[in-house]
Structure 1
């Protein structure tokens, strides 16, 4: 059996205190000296980002609070472009806003502010970077085709997700409404005949168990049909969802290549030609 080893803490000496203070001072100075280096590195990495990014196409997923009837959390997609978010904000007024988790109009100003700040950062980098950073490097044809394919796949993914959530919401809202209505009717009917009712605690539990069992038996066909549809939809969406996720990953890899390799090489070649 191993015994625990107890280490006694001794008070540091004057030399130890001085060494410890010097260590903290050097560590803080080194960390403060590393911050500008890391920020400059991030600026260099993002300085070549003239090509559109996958995040400019993929929408932002918003998840709201649970619905009071179906207990499912609604999902909303917010387009990252300013025009698309404005269209969503104006179009949301025509759609029913019952239990809507967010006001889409509040994201219009934030998205436009983010867009303007990004434009200011890019213009500042071009001004500070000199002639080499003024060179605009358009994306390659392959990357442009990938972005178009990603946009179509993203729309199909949103359609599948919205359709699945709407189907689940309709079923569970109807199912829970039926259950609440039948439970209320059964409870009121049992309370109408108090002479045959057992004591409150035992009678309430037995009545709830009997009602739940009979209610599940009466609605078994509906539940089996929903389960079959759910399994069929899940297996049917596996292949499209896998292709979409692989496409998103590949587009990000190509975007990194366009930004960090291709754009840098073309800028170096362009700056060399301008110097000659």
Structure 2
């Protein structure tokens, strides 16, 4: 009898911390940190072949004017929540030109920006990957498993307004850091605004602009002529973040994360890795 009471108590405590399908927050918003109302912070998990699990990770004290904030993934003095919560996606992603773009905050989703047929303005389509998969900006497909995927770690660094850099996993895309404000107290935050280069160009971090292969090669050649330094070889281990040639596979490339973890990747079918552009380009020749 005492054992049954103890077991019931354990189950009650466990159920208070982890619940399934809590108000359908996880079914609506998917994996990761979310606000369930204005005070409750939850984390959504979906094991393969199982229902969504909603884990409560904290409460914000509304009596002290603290509210759940999905942008900061914590409590904040800014109240931007309601029964129909506005997500950070709605707050900080705007289409700047046509193309397919990763969601900077959620690897399970992406955006298609296209010209509206009735006007010259850009329309934004918000697309979710199938359960368990993440969007791969290099292939523009949801062909990466979500679990522990490096693509799902933050891909941008915004330290100051107008910082600019290529998107690490597809340098045909680049981002410019902008300052935004939201909420009744006008809190400031930095966010990446995404753009794409012309199809035959990539964003070069050294030139700080979109450039063609010929332009990049010419610049690199001039720099090599002016310097006695030898070119950086493909890494046997990661010393810095970036994308590098795989010397053992012309279709492959090495993705070094910001945490200096080395990951071997493959270009999509009928393409190969161009070490000058640090990108997958059409054609099977190596």
Q: Higher helix fraction: Structure 1 or Structure 2?
A: 1
Q: TM-score band, normalised by the shorter chain?
A: under 0.3
Which structure is higher in RCO with an 8 Å CA cutoff and minimum separation 6?
1
**TM (normalized to structure 1)?**
0.21
**TM (normalized to structure 2)?**
0.21
